[in-house]
Structure 1
């Protein structure tokens, strides 16, 4: 079921319109069982009651989590993305509200709020990211948990004078291909993710998405501002230790149990 929180804007004008949503559930990559299942395992283990997913997207995580008997709600900015949840087997179990995860409130108190797959970085200002933490805390019951999965900025690969790091170069079958690269501004902590796709007939498409990176310590401060403290920090969903070689982190903050 999808309800509208009345944001006043058409979410399809954002970074995840129909043209993106149409291919978002393609097999492999982020949708591969080897990627989805470990995340769902951890979320199920942490859940001790209803859960809320910020930026629920097409239900890549929410639908399989709901299939395990967890009561899942979601907030999603893009109508095009959210519309695909109901079409999935079991998708009707996920209650989705259209809105901005920095401000949109849904009814209920949750044991867990989670935000995965780098989506915190889609909020491209520090103030906006703090608002995400505050909104998560506002939805949590005492002792509730807020989980974020996000990549660590690849700044160690930047030699002096360079601001760009390629992350994918993939030739296409029958010609064409795909190139992806991130471009960093280390002063503002802004970066853009750039995607160049060329079809076999030579037709090209360029897509550029703005992000903001934040180090784990900065997120700990955001959590503290929102009244939460760090409970767990892992390098991945396998709960491995975060090290200097880690490329992402999965962090969990806890609200005060006495409030």
Structure 2
């Protein structure tokens, strides 16, 4: 699969209307993040079209975002009203921005779009360099599903409608923890393909990446509302700069 850090957004020009691909947790996420750095400066890695950045800015934070996809960045600029939001085009593993931020965050498994362990380690290290002592780094991710990834390939059904369906096909490289994913929207007027390549990370592996970057885990919950972490499903991890 021919794929780079910009490919996710470039293959999804209609991202804002793809309800099946979105988490719909904007209020919970922005409330959680705003409470960590009230009135401060926040940096989002992989800001997309501003699904969380815009409501977060609406809660009084100055938000800067890094985005690899020009299509996504253009979508964000169309969505911005009075919110204090700025977007920088680039590879978020490099965190190509200036200055310090009270909070750096990466949501919706976006961190997994970095395709190698090296790029993920580099991302965490670079994010930490933009935090002052006591600054916070937040990642929303999921615990890899043993049943889903035990086979080299799998298919699944995401949506079934009267005149359309969305299915997902995966090819899995267990040695590299990489998954090639193709989500296919089947419709009467034609099919649309949404490719993705991601490298999943185990929670303990993420903790080690943070430790190497001078960060200490403060908490890990099962969601933005502080749900109990069970070792499966999604989670939100918070790290503090030492």
Normalised TM-score (structure 2):
0.89
- Give the aligned partner of residue 163 of structure 1: 152
Question: Structure 1 residue 29: deviation in Å?
Answer: 4.6
What SS does the aligned partner of 2:35 have?
A: helix
Label 1:17 to 1:115 Cα distance change in 2 as closer, same or farther (>3 A): closer
- Give the aligned partner of residue 225 of structure 1: 212
Question: Structure 1 residue 168: deviation in Å?
Answer: 3.2
Of the three residues 13, 22, 33, the one matched with 1:43 is 33
For structure 2, which runs of at least 5 residues remain unmatched after alignment? none
Distance 2:92 2:143 in 1: 21
- Give the aligned partner of residue 171 of structure 2: 183
Choose 1 or 2 for highest CA Rg. Answer: 1
Q: Deviations over 1:235-257 (max 9, x none)?
A: 1111112113x31111111101x
Distance 1:116 1:194 in 2: 21
Label 1:187 to 1:31 Cα distance change in 2 as closer, same or farther (>3 A): closer
How many residue pairs match? The answer is 239
After TM superposition, list the pairs within 5 Å mapping 1:14-93 onto structure 2. 14-21=6-13, 23-26=14-17, 28-29=19-20, 35-48=25-38, 49-90=40-81, 93=84
Label 1:105 to 1:157 Cα distance change in 2 as closer, same or farther (>3 A): closer
Matched, 1:250 2:242: no
Label 1:13 to 1:39 Cα distance change in 2 as closer, same or farther (>3 A): closer
RMSD of the TM alignment (CA)? 2.3
CA contact (8 A) 1:51 1:112 kept: yes
After TM superposition, list the pairs within 5 Å mapping 1:89-238 onto structure 2. 89-90=80-81, 93-157=84-148, 162-173=151-162, 175-201=163-189, 203-238=190-225
Label 1:165 to 1:46 Cα distance change in 2 as closer, same or farther (>3 A): farther
The range that moved more, 54-63 or 206-215, is 206-215
CA contact (8 A) 2:5 2:114 kept: no
CA contact (8 A) 1:184 1:192 kept: yes
Distance 2:168 2:116 in 1: 23
Matched, 1:241 2:231: no
- Give the aligned partner of residue 6 of structure 1: none
For structure 1, which runs of at least 5 residues remain unmatched after alignment? 1-10
